[in-house]
Amino acid sequence: MGNLGLDARSLLFEPSRTIGFDVGLHTLDSYWMSPQDINYYRARVPYTQLYLVTSGTTEQVFKLLHTQNVNHQLNIGFNLNYIGSRGLYSSDLLAQNVSDVNAAAFAWYESKNKRYNILGNLIYNNLKAPETGSILSADSIYTQKNPLGTIDEQARLQSTFENWAGAGIYLKQTYYIGHIDTLKKGANILPTQRVAFTFNYSKRKYNFLQNEADNYNVFPDYYYGYNYARDSLSVKHLQNDFSYSFYLRSKSIKNELKLDVGITQDYYQYAQYVRDTTLNQYGAKVNLPDKVQGASFQDITLKGKLSYHFSDRILLDFNLQQIAQGRDFGDFLYDAKLTLAGGDKAGKIIFEGYSQSSSPPLVYTDWISNHFIFHDKFSNQKTNSVSFTYINNPLKLDLKAEYFLVSDYLYFLAQPGGIDATPTQLSSPINVLKVSFGKSFSWRRWHLENFLVYQKSDYQSTLRTPDFYNYTSLSYKTLLFNVLYSNIGINVRYNSQYVAPAYATGLGQFYNGPNVTFSSYPIASIFFKATLQRTNFFIMYDYVNQGIQSPGYYTVYKYPQLQRMLKIGVSWAFYN
């Protein structure tokens, strides 16, 4: 959408592989911290890492990690992440600043006999992203005589933003029962049976706050107020997951058969509010929160996984997830994967396929807000996929070919020339072919990394992604002043032209609006990185080629991307 911290979508086709209840709001997921993002450590000494990248007030990223072992069985630590961004086009209004905070405390414990493990975390998120409706000169910003100096453009909305906030607790316990196999005495423990229980509770709140009149017609409709909105959706999620694992191994422990069975209970409670004017008990008009919908329900999911490992040469996995009871009854995800590994030089081949059926997200079926109201019924979206992957680590090469057949595809569509994004389901199936290729080259002190993707569907006007994407990095390694291990290089990324999506302010969705195709040119950045003992230094001049081929670029309709800028970073590790 223009700068770090704003709503984002992938340029590559990446279908979700989740089933069950889904709110359908994901444009800020890149900045949200989940239990799956937490790493756990065995730290022989206390370890702290500081990370900072800044380009002044335009973008700032700060990360802090600390972890230490209390004793051999217990480790504790915490994470703190912060993103601040003013962008290049907005004024100095505080309401237009990005402000993201993630904080987490985590711990891990293992019993002395190594049979019992518990890991857990507490997570807090607070994301604030301005909803500007773009700038007034969005269509002409790159045609002005001095576009690089226009850093104080007026936005259509100057004090409107979205705010996602939430907190949660996650605990996972495992216990090994029965006989335990070991490759060495006291090391590399391999259980023959395992039971596990996972508890996860979280509360999330999605807020949209409009604090001004819509003088430039950003919104399509007004159901409760013209110059003020307090839309919110709160979701509580309680999950209990039980699993049992059984292992069969040969005496040499080279062959292994593993069976996992489990059951997951997901309990949800959600409520949606708007701000509306009503009369109080004294007959005076007051503006108060009004609950417009809410529900509570549960899903029961049955899980099973069968794995067979023949040494490290053949690995066969079958995975099953089926919602057997609840609101999303009938959702399923079936997955199968075969891995054939040769020697180090031969590499390995992976065949994979999956079939999925998932319920429509809430935002498509039941949504009530100041600017968008939907009450629709849609069929489950179904995805079938097969893929082939070849990986060769000595050659630093990986190749992947994927085919997707998507039925009853859900997306947002507007009338020609309109801004009224409406949920829509495509009746015809979509065929998608995606081929990815990655290769690294090293010659003396030179290093080249290249990643290419080709993706093509028979509904390009619906799936608005470029056919071709490429990322290339060329660097030269050297030792400066006999102490600085340095890399000097250039990164270049490029995507082919495609029909750009539009963005629905107040809904938090990218949608298919006007059929606008922007010119596409390579985006280059030069960088210098140096390491001095425990410290890494980093300098990058991003979009260094601006003004050579084009004055700027777009990836979303009416939202100009960032201009060239200097970024400086440092990563500093502390340990004894």
Instruction: State the CB neighbour count (10 A cutoff) for residue 259.
Output: 14
DSSP letter at 35 equals: G
Asked if residue 331 lies in contact with residue 19, where contact means CB atoms within 8 angstroms, the answer is: yes
Question: How far apart, in whole angstroms, are the C-alpha atoms of residue 127 and residue 101?
Answer: 6
Token pair belonging to 122? 């507490």
| Residue 343 domain boundaries | 29-574
Asked if residue 274 lies in contact with residue 291, where contact means CB atoms within 8 angstroms, the answer is: no
pLDDT value of position 191: 83
Read off the pTM.
0.93
Instruction: State the CB neighbour count (10 A cutoff) for residue 156.
Output: 20
Strands (E) in 90-186, as ranges, are 98-110, 116-130, 161-184
Residue 14 forms part of a structural domain = no
- Main-chain dihedrals φ then ψ at residue 3, nearest 5 degrees: -150, 170
Along the 576 residues of the chain, how does pLDDT read in single tens digits?
888 999 999 999 999 999 999 999 999 999 999 999 999 999 999 999 999 999 988 899 999 999 999 999 999 999 999 999 887 776 555 667 899 999 999 999 999 988 999 999 999 999 999 999 988 888 888 776 455 545 567 889 988 999 999 999 999 999 998 777 665 555 567 788 999 999 999 999 999 999 999 999 999 999 998 888 999 999 999 999 999 999 988 776 778 899 999 999 999 999 999 998 776 677 777 778 889 999 999 999 999 999 998 888 899 999 999 999 999 999 999 999 999 998 878 999 999 999 999 999 999 999 999 999 999 999 999 999 999 999 999 999 999 999 999 999 999 999 877 888 999 999 999 999 999 999 999 999 999 999 999 999 999 989 999 999 999 999 999 999 888 999 999 999 999 999 999 999 999 999 999 999 998 999 999 999 999 999 999 999 999 999 888 888 999 999 988 888 999 999 999 998
Question: How far apart, in whole angstroms, are the C-alpha atoms of residue 65 and residue 39?
Answer: 10
Token pair belonging to 408? 């009853």
One-letter amino acid at 346 equals: A
| Integer Rg of the chain from CA | 26
pLDDT value of position 25: 96
Query: Tokens 């060495």 appear where?
Result: 184
Q: Are strands 255-279 and 229-249 parallel, antiparallel or unpaired?
A: antiparallel
pLDDT value of position 392: 94
Residue 12 forms part of a structural domain = no
One-letter amino acid at 41 equals: Y
Three-class secondary structure of residue 553 per DSSP: coil
Residue 73 forms part of a structural domain = yes
* Nearest CA-CA partner of 183 in 174, 191, 175, 194: 191
One-letter amino acid at 223 equals: Y
Token pair belonging to 17? 């592989």
Instruction: State the CB neighbour count (10 A cutoff) for residue 406.
Output: 23
Number of domains observed in the structure of the chain: 1
Instruction: State the CB neighbour count (10 A cutoff) for residue 412.
Output: 23
* Nearest CA-CA partner of 100 in 122, 79, 84, 80: 84
Asked if residue 362 lies in contact with residue 293, where contact means CB atoms within 8 angstroms, the answer is: no
One-letter amino acid at 95 equals: A
Token pair belonging to 189? 């423990």
Question: How far apart, in whole angstroms, are the C-alpha atoms of residue 392 and residue 89?
Answer: 45
Asked if residue 159 lies in contact with residue 95, where contact means CB atoms within 8 angstroms, the answer is: yes
What CATH number is associated with residue 290? Answer: 2.40.170.20
Residue 102 forms part of a structural domain = yes
pLDDT value of position 96: 76
Residue 210 forms part of a structural domain = yes
- Main-chain dihedrals φ then ψ at residue 383, nearest 5 degrees: -130, 130
Q: What angle do CA 262, 189, 111 make, to 5 degrees?
A: 80
Question: How far apart, in whole angstroms, are the C-alpha atoms of residue 222 and residue 238?
Answer: 35
Instruction: State the CB neighbour count (10 A cutoff) for residue 279.
Output: 9
Residue 430 forms part of a structural domain = yes
Asked if residue 26 lies in contact with residue 362, where contact means CB atoms within 8 angstroms, the answer is: no
Asked if residue 407 lies in contact with residue 381, where contact means CB atoms within 8 angstroms, the answer is: yes
Token pair belonging to 61? 């990223």
DSSP letter at 362 equals: H
In whole angstroms, how far apart are CA 363 and each of 87, 323, 410, 514?
Answer: 29, 21, 11, 22
pLDDT value of position 91: 54
DSSP letter at 365 equals: H
pLDDT value of position 547: 87
Question: How far apart, in whole angstroms, are the C-alpha atoms of residue 529 and residue 300?
Answer: 50
Residue 331: CA count within 13 A, CB half-sphere: 23
pLDDT value of position 438: 97
* Nearest CA-CA partner of 406 in 441, 372, 381: 381
Torsion over CA: 18, 19, 21, 23 (sign) = positive
One-letter amino acid at 569 equals: G
Burial class, 561, CB count within 10 angstroms (exposed 0-12 / middle 13-18 / buried 19+): middle
Question: How far apart, in whole angstroms, are the C-alpha atoms of residue 451 and residue 12?
Answer: 13
User: Helix and strand tally (H, E) in the chain?
Assistant: 1, 30
Instruction: State the CB neighbour count (10 A cutoff) for residue 149.
Output: 9
Residue 172 forms part of a structural domain = yes
Residue 8 forms part of a structural domain = no
